[in-house]
């Protein structure tokens, strides 16, 4: 079973528990930790019997099956997994080298900002473009929005 499927079951049970009992659970921890998941299953079944919510019992059963299936699945030892990853990396192609004389553009095509008459950073857009002087008697809108 995929982790996403188990997480979806945990999320569904979380929503049911929240709506029907007011209990808030941690869905990610429920999907990852067997002990926590089994305790939530026990709680959901107890509330299903007490309050008469058969859908709680149904989703508790689904989560229990998924949790036990994951717990019974044979896991690979960490050393074997690490060895396989190292073998895959050693057969991977080498990264591309940059051509000699290449210098990446660090500005991203934008010119540096400078402080203008307003005291805030204004874009100069290069040296070829000059900012127009503002007429101090012209009506002005807040922030230049018209």
The token duo for 78 is 């960490």
Distance, in Å, from the CA atom of 83 to the CA atom of 90, rounded to the nearest integer, reads 11
| Residues forming a β-bridge with 122 | 114
pLDDT of 42 reads: 94
Residue 11, in any domain of the structure: yes
Distance, in Å, from the CA atom of 20 to the CA atom of 29, rounded to the nearest integer, reads 21
Tens digit of pLDDT at every position of the chain (146 positions): 788 889 999 999 999 999 999 999 999 999 989 999 999 999 999 999 999 999 999 999 999 999 888 767 666 677 777 778 788 877 756 665 655 655 555 555 565 555 555 555 555 555 555 667 777 787 766 665 55
pLDDT of 125 reads: 52
* Structural domain count of the chain: 1
pLDDT of 134 reads: 75
Residue 12, in any domain of the structure: yes
Which domain range does residue 38 map to? 3-72
Residue 136, in any domain of the structure: no
Residue 51, in any domain of the structure: yes
Owner of token pair 């990852």 = 32
Residue 62, in any domain of the structure: yes
Distance, in Å, from the CA atom of 4 to the CA atom of 86, rounded to the nearest integer, reads 27
**Cβ pair 29, 36 in contact under 8 A:** yes
Helix residue ranges, H only, 1-146: 3-21, 27-32, 34-51, 54-72, 78-91
**Cβ pair 10, 71 in contact under 8 A:** no
Residue 53, in any domain of the structure: yes
Residue 106, in any domain of the structure: no
The closest of 114, 134, 112 to 122, measured between CA atoms, is 114
Residue 120, in any domain of the structure: no
């Amino acid at each position: 079973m995929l982790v996403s499927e188990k997480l979806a079951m945990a999320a569904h049970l979380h929503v049911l528990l929240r709506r029907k009992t007011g209990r808030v659970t941690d869905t990610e921890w429920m999907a990852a930790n067997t002990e926590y998941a089994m305790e939530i299953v026990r709680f959901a079944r107890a509330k299903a019997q007490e309050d008469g919510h058969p859908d709680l019992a149904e989703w508790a059963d689904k989560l229990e099956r998924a949790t036990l299936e994951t717990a019974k699945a044979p896991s690979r030892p960490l050393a074997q997994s690490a060895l396989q990853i190292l073998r895959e990396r050693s057969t991977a192609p080498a990264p591309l080298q940059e051509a000699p004389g290449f210098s990446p553009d660090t500005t991203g095509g934008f010119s540096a900002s400078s402080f203008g008459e307003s005291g805030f950073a204004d874009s100069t857009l290069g040296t070829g473009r000059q900012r127009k002087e503002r007429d101090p008697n012209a009506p002005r809108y807040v922030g230049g929005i018209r």
